[in-house]
Amino acid sequence: MKENTSLIRRLVMSRFKYIVIGALFTVVTVGIQVLTPWFMKRIVDEAIPEKEIGLLVFLITAISFFPFLSAALISIRNLFLHRIGGHVTDYLRRSLYTKLTRLSPKTYNDFKTGDISARIYSCGEIGDMYITQAVIPAILDVCLFIGIVIVMFNLNWELAVLAVGILPFLYLLSQFIAKKAKSLTGQVINLQQEMNIYSAEFVTGLKTVQMFNREESERDYLTDWIKSYRKTRNRAAIIDGLSKLTVDFGKALGLGLVFAYGAWKIFYGEITIGSLLAFTVYFPQLFGTLQSVQFAYIRWINIRPKIQLVEEILNLEDVVTDKVHKAPLKINGDIQFSNVSFSFQKGRGQVRDISFHIAKGEFIGIVGPSGGGKSTILDLLMRFYDPDCGEIRIDGINVQEISLHDLRDQIGMVSQDVFLWNRSIKDNLLYAKPDATENEIKEACQKAQVWDFIHGLPDKLDTVVGERGVKLSGGEKQRIGIARVLLRNPNVLLMDEPTSALDANTEALLQEQLELLFKDKTLIVVAHRLATIRNADRIFVVKDGAIEESGTHQELMEKRSIYHQLYTEQFQDSLKGGD
C-alpha cells in the first residue's frame, strides 16, 4: 500500500511545476466561488435597502461575470491536470514495456497474454482517469472546502457549526459503504482479467473451437461469465448509488436544518436575510467539494488493485541479469557447455548435466525425440534462461559476463514458430537490421529462397502479412524468418526446426546456401527432419535432457543405436509417403 502510494506521489510530484500552476488557477477560482455568495449577501443587505445603485451595478456585474471567468480558469487548470495525468500514464506504460522487454521467458511465462494486456491498459486508468479526474481535483477542492468553511464561520459561527456538524456522520456512513465497495471492486477486476485472458485465448484458438465443434460450449462459458459479471457490476452500482445518496441525504438534511435555524435567527434579528442567502449558496458548494473528495476515495478503492497489478510487474526481479561492458565484445563462435542442467519447474528436468564443445566454424545438428531438451539448449545459449547449475562459455567467456546486447547482436536465431508483426514484409525484415539497403534485403531473401515469392506479390515487399503472419503459409513465414536473420549476418546461427514447413526441393536449396554462408561460422540446427543435418560436422542426439550420442551421420548410423532407429523410421515413413 505504501509502495503504491509512494509510486503515484513520485510520479505526480515529478510534474510539480504543473501542480503549482494548477494550484494558482485554483486559488483564483476558489476566491471567485467564495466571493459570489458574499456579493449576493451585500446586494440583499446593503445595495437594495440603501438604494446604492453604483454598488448594485458593480455587484450584479461581478456576479454575472464570475461564472464565465471561473469556467475559463477551470478549463486552463484542467489542461495542466491532464498533463500530469498524461505524464503518469506515459511513464507507467514506458516502464511496463521496458520491463517486459528485459524479462526472460521464465519470468513472464507465469503471466498470460490477456493478463499482461490488461495491466498495460490499467496505466491509462491510473493516469488519465484517476490522477486527472479524481485525485488532483479532490486535493484542489479541499482548498475550496477550507475557504468556504472559513467564510461560513465568519458570517455566523452557529450556522457554520450546524452545517459542518453533519460531516462526521456522513464520513462514518461512507466508510461503511466503502468497505462493501472494496470487496465488490476486487471481484469485478478479477472477472475483467478472466475475460481479458479468455478473449486473447479465444481469438488465437478460434480455429480449434471450430475444428472440434465447441462453439456452443464456448457460448455457454461466455453466458455464465456475463451473468456473473453483470450480477457483480449491478451490486457495485447499487453500492455506488448508496454512496452518492448518502451525500445527497446529508446535503438535504443539513440544508433543511440551516434554513430552519437561520429563519429562527432572522425572526429575532440575530442575522440578516443576506447572510442566510449566502449560507444557502455556500452549503451546496460545501457538499460539492465533499462529493469530489468522496468520489476520489471511491476511485482510489477501485484503482488500487490495478496499481498493485502494475507494480507487481515493475517490481519483478528477473532470473536473468544483464552485464554491461564498457566496450563492445566481438563473438567468434567457440561454444562450450560444462555440466549444464536446467529445469522450468522443480522436479521437471529439461537439461541434465550436458557437456560439449563446439569449435568456431562447426556445423552442429541436434536431433532426438520430442520434449528431450533440444530447443532448451538454444534458449540457454541465447540466455532466455540461465542454467540452474553448470557453465556456458563463448570464446572462453561465461555468457553471464557478456552483455545481453552483445550476445544477441552477434548470435542469430530462427525459432520453430516464426513471429511476424502485422506489418509489411519489408518492415519485418528491417526489424533485424533497420539500416539495411534494398540490395541487402534482396540478397538475404534470395539466399532464404523467398525472393521469387515476394517479388510475385502485388505489393511485393510492402505486402502486409497480417497478425503473426496469418496471411502467409508456414513455409513462407519460415523463409522470411530465415531471411530476417541472414540480413543481420550473425557470427553464430541457431535454427530450431527451420525447414519443417518446406518442401524437399526448397529445403535442399536452402540447406546448400546455409552451408555455404556459414562455412567459417558456427551453425547449430535443431531438426526433426534428419536430412536437414545429414551433412553436419557432428550430430548430437538428445533424449530426456541428456546427450546420448554424438558423431557424424555415418558414425551414428554405424552405432545402430538411437540415431539409427530415428533415421530408419523416418526413411521408412518417407517411402510410405511416396507410395
Which pLDDT score is estimated for 343? 83
Q: Which domain CATH number covers 275?
A: 1.20.1560.10
Which pLDDT score is estimated for 4? 46
Query: Domain for residue 517, yes or no?
Result: yes
- My answer on whether 252 and 366 are in the same domain is no
Q: Which of 73-87, 115-129, 429-443, 464-478 has the highest mean pLDDT?
A: 429-443
Which pLDDT score is estimated for 357? 93
- Of the two residues 42 and 559, the one the predictor is more confident about is 559
Which pLDDT score is estimated for 575? 42
Which pLDDT tens digit goes with each residue over 356-389? 999 998 999 998 887 788 888 998 998 888 888 9
Q: Specify the residue for cell string 440575530.
A: 270
Q: pLDDT category, 1, cuts 50, 70, 90? A: very low
- My answer on whether 340 and 459 are in the same domain is yes
Which pLDDT tens digit goes with each residue over 91-126? 888 877 777 777 776 666 666 666 677 777 777 777
Which pLDDT score is estimated for 324? 64
Q: Which domain CATH number covers 494?
A: 3.40.50.300
Whether 3 has a pLDDT exceeding 60, the answer reads no
Pairing of strands 411-414, 538-543: unpaired
Query: Domain for residue 329, yes or no?
Result: no
Which pLDDT score is estimated for 338? 92
Lowest mean pLDDT among 25-39, 68-82, 498-512, 542-556: 498-512
Domain boundary among 258, 282, 314: 314
Which pLDDT tens digit goes with each residue over 214-241? 778 788 888 888 888 888 888 877 777 7
- My answer on whether 38 and 132 are in the same domain is yes
Lowest mean pLDDT among 224-228, 262-266, 512-516: 512-516
- My answer on whether 238 and 354 are in the same domain is no
Which pLDDT score is estimated for 401? 85
**Mean pLDDT, residues 258-266 taken together:** 82
Which pLDDT score is estimated for 320? 63
Domain boundary among 279, 314, 349: 314
- My answer on whether 284 and 390 are in the same domain is no
**Mean pLDDT, residues 285-307 taken together:** 74
Lowest mean pLDDT among 4-13, 251-260, 475-484, 564-573: 4-13
DSSP code, position 135: I
Query: Domain for residue 320, yes or no?
Result: no
Domain boundary among 253, 279, 314: 314
- My answer on whether 526 and 393 are in the same domain is yes
Single-letter amino acid code for the residue at 505: N
Query: Domain for residue 260, yes or no?
Result: yes
- My answer on whether 344 and 308 are in the same domain is no
Alpha carbons 87 and 359: distance in angstroms, whole number:
51
Q: Specify the residue for cell string 435567527.
A: 265
Alpha carbons 197 and 204: distance in angstroms, whole number:
11
Which pLDDT tens digit goes with each residue over 61-72? 887 888 788 788
Q: Which three cell numbers stand for residue 568?
A: 530408419
Whether 5 has a pLDDT exceeding 60, the answer reads no
Alpha carbons 78 and 137: distance in angstroms, whole number:
9
- My answer on whether 89 and 193 are in the same domain is yes
- My answer on whether 286 and 339 are in the same domain is no
Q: Which of 137-141, 147-151, 237-241 has the highest mean pLDDT?
A: 147-151
Query: Domain for residue 326, yes or no?
Result: no
Whether 145 has a pLDDT exceeding 50, the answer reads yes
- My answer on whether 290 and 344 are in the same domain is no
- My answer on whether 287 and 379 are in the same domain is no
Secondary structure class of 230 (helix, strand, coil): helix
**Residue range(s) defining the domain that contains residue 396:** 335-578
Query: Domain for residue 253, yes or no?
Result: yes
Query: Domain for residue 232, yes or no?
Result: yes
- My answer on whether 425 and 560 are in the same domain is yes
Query: Domain for residue 18, yes or no?
Result: yes
Range 355-391 burial, b when 16+ CB lie within 10 A, else e: eeebebebbbbbbbeeebbbbbbbbbbbbbbbbeebe
**Mean pLDDT, residues 314-329 taken together:** 65
Q: Is residue 89 within a helix (H) or strand (E), and if so which, with residue range?
A: helix 53-102
Please count the structural domains in the chain. 2
